[in-house]
Amino acid sequence: VVKNPDLVVGIDLGGTKILAAAVDAQGKILGRAKRSTDPEEGSRAVLSRLADCAREAVARAGREWPDVRAVGVGAPGPLDPEKGVVIFAPNLSGWKNVPVKATLEKTLRKPVFLENDVNVGTLGEHVLGAGKGVRDLVGIFVGTGIGGGVILNGQLHRGFNKTAGEIGHMIVQIGGPKCGCGNRGCLEAIASRTAIARDIAAAIRKGKKSSLGKRRAIDPSDLKSGDIAKALDEGDRVARKVIRRAARAIGVSILNVIHVLNPEMIVLGGGAMAFGDHLLPIVRKTVERRVLPLAGDRVRIVPAQLADDSGVLGAAVLARQRMS
């Protein structure tokens, strides 16, 4: 029997893949494992893969399962972090009321903690990434959608119904493009990777010249982040114009967040940071030009540092914090 198990396992449950990492007390990854999610096989099969993944990460770290203290899981939501239940997840073939915590605790015989993936990403950046030592921080993750996490007084702020941080659905343009949530002009509908690809494709279809595609053949799903980043580097005018609009919308959202919460730091992460070099200067300028005196003083807007590990490391931080 191990008296002081020092490892935690962080699991990042995404719509396409499951990532797990065995993480030591210093936040160092000692072993990793990966599986396809294949959510169409049902929640039982997915949770069983999650458990396999956790055990494999520990084995790859050269350690034994009894060395593990707790397991943290970041999952798409909405979810109930206290009961450890995923309430509804369109990204997981429409999971409804899946008892992740109860099921995994039975299989793994360790305490399991569940949290929304964006909150987990924010926790990771706060403790191990860009936000080390910062008390008030907001994380904004721009990917196929846009999510946010809020840390106030060093603690994750969940709000009354545990839904705080929905920055993607902050309306930045009344009457703007339609969002998946049903409203118009949400940040997500203007600045997500999906919206950026949609707008580039629409401009090309209208006849604007771009290295990213030909008028008739263009489809938004063909536009890969790497290609958009390359076009931006080469000065492609269509790509630059669309990115400018997205960056300004992100900047306006951040401005509003700064005015309401006055955080010390905003951490920007997610897949769209592939064009971070083009995005960030415009985001910062948009904020600087409009921010109220004092509110924006010494507030830093910085890129996330943990990249693809933010999910597993954040889940490891979650497990450690809930155990203490």
Residues at the site binding Zn ion, with contacts judged by CB under 5 A: 169, 179, 181, 183, 186
d(CA 85, CA 267): 28
* Residue (183 or 225) nearer to Zn ion, CB: 183
Q: Considering beta carbons, is residue 179 or 318 the nearer one to Zn ion?
A: 179
Judge whether 28 and 309 are in contact, CB under 8 Å: no
Q: What is the DSSP letter of 3?
A: S
**Residue whose CB is less far from Zn ion, 171 or 323:** 171
Closer by beta carbon to Zn ion, 23 or else 167: 167
Q: Please, are residues 56 and 11 in contact by the beta-carbon 8 Å criterion?
A: no
In the complex, what is the shortest distance from the CB of residue 170 to Zn ion, in angstroms, rounded to a whole number? 8
State the Rg of the chain over Cα: 20
Tokens at residue 89, please? 């997840």
User: What DSSP state is assigned to residue 215?
Assistant: T
Distances (CA, A) of 112 to 45, 67, 101, 103: 18, 15, 5, 9
We find the least distance from the C-beta atom of residue 188 to Zn ion, in angstroms, to be 5
Nearer to Zn ion, 61 or 179 (CB): 179
Of residues 183 and 305, the one with the C-beta less far from Zn ion? 183
Nearest distance in Å: CB 250, Zn ion: 15
DSSP 314: H
Q: How many residues does the chain have?
A: 324
Cβ of 317: how many Cβ atoms within 10 Å? Answer: 26
* Tokens found for residue 250: 């992100």
CB of 179 to Zn ion, least distance (A): 3
Residue 184 Cβ vs Zn ion, minimum distance, rounded to whole Å: 8
Instruction: Assign 322 to helix, strand or coil.
Output: helix
DSSP, collapsed to helix, strand or coil, labels residue 142 as: strand
Minimum CB separation of residue 257 from Zn ion in Å reads 16
